[in-house]
C-alpha cells in the first residue's frame, strides 16, 4: 500500500458523515525522459455525503521523472485534483482545485484536509437549511459592489441548489432571493428567475 493510499484513507476517515470509495488505477509505463514521466500511479478517492446528493472527488497522481543532471536519481511529483459535484456554493472558490508537491505526499494531503475544513464544512452546514443557504450566498454582498455576472451566478446557483434541501424548498428559495435582491436594490433579475 502506497503512502498516498494510506494518507487518502486517513483523510477520508476524518470526513464524518461521509462514505468513500478508494480506487487504485493501474500503473501506466511511459518512456523515461527529462520531461516525461517514467511511470505514473493514480489513486481516486470519491467521497459521498450520506445525507445529501453531494460528492467530492480527489485524484492523486504520482509521476516519476528523470532529472536533467543525474539520471540515476529520479524525482517524484505528486498532483492532487479536488472537485465537487455540485460545484461550490461560494463563487470565490474554484470548482476544481489542484495542488503540486514534491516527493513527500503528506503535506499535500494535509493541505487538502485544510481545504476540506475551510470550504466543504461551511457548505455542508448551510445546505441543510433554506435560511442558511440564502444567508451564506448573499450576506457578503453590499449595494453598489456587485459585478453583475458574478452576482447573477450566485443567485442562480442558490436556486439550483434548492434541490439539496427538503421537498418544496425551491419556491421558498426563490421568494427569499427576490426579497434579498430588492433589499440590495439589484435589478433586473428577470433572466435569473425566468426559468424557475
From residue 161, alpha-carbon distances to 59, 78, 181 in Å are 25, 33, 18
C-alpha cell at 127: 445546505
Higher local confidence (pLDDT), 162 or 17 = 162
SS (H, E, C) 53-108: CEEEEEEEEEEEECCCCCCCCCEEEEEEEEEEECCCCCCCCCCEEEEEECCCCHHH
Sign for the pseudo-dihedral over CA of 112, 57, 140, 136: negative
89-136 pLDDT, tens digit per residue, is: 444 444 444 445 444 545 555 665 565 566 556 555 555 555 655 565
CB 81 within 8 Å of CB 58: yes
What pLDDT is recorded for position 177? 73
Radius of gyration of the chain (CA): 21
What pLDDT is recorded for position 114? 64
35-64 pLDDT, tens digit per residue, is: 444 455 555 555 554 444 455 555 656 555
CA dist 102 and 156 (Å) reads 39
Global pTM? 0.34
**The pairing of beta strand 54-65 with beta strand 75-85:** antiparallel
Amino acid at each position: 500500500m502506497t503512502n498516498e493510499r494510506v494518507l487518502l484513507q486517513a483523510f477520508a476517515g476524518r470526513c464524518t458523515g461521509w462514505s468513500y470509495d478508494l480506487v487504485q488505477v493501474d500503473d501506466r509505463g511511459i518512456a523515461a525522459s527529462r520531461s516525461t514521466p517514467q511511470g505514473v500511479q493514480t489513486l481516486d478517492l470519491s467521497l459521498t455525503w450520506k445525507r445529501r446528493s453531494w460528492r467530492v472527488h480527489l485524484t492523486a497522481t504520482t509521476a516519476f521523472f528523470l532529472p536533467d543532471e543525474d539520471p540515476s536519481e529520479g524525482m517524484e511529483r505528486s498532483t492532487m485534483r479536488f472537485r465537487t459535484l455540485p460545484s461550490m456554493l461560494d463563487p470565490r472558490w474554484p470548482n476544481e482545485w489542484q495542488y503540486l508537491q514534491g516527493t513527500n505526499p503528506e503535506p499535500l494531503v494535509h493541505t487538502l484536509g485544510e481545504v476540506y475544513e475551510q470550504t466543504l464544512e461551511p457548505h455542508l452546514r448551510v445546505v441543510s437549511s433554506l435560511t442558511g443557504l440564502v444567508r451564506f450566498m448573499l450576506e457578503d454582498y453590499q449595494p453598489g459592489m456587485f459585478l453583475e455576472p458574478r452576482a447573477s451566478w450566485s443567485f442562480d446557483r442558490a436556486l439550483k441548489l434548492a434541490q439539496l434541501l427538503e421537498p418544496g424548498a425551491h419556491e421558498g428559495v426563490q421568494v427569499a432571493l427576490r426579497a434579498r435582491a430588492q433589499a440590495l436594490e439589484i435589478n433586473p433579475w428577470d433572466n435569473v428567475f425566468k426559468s424557475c
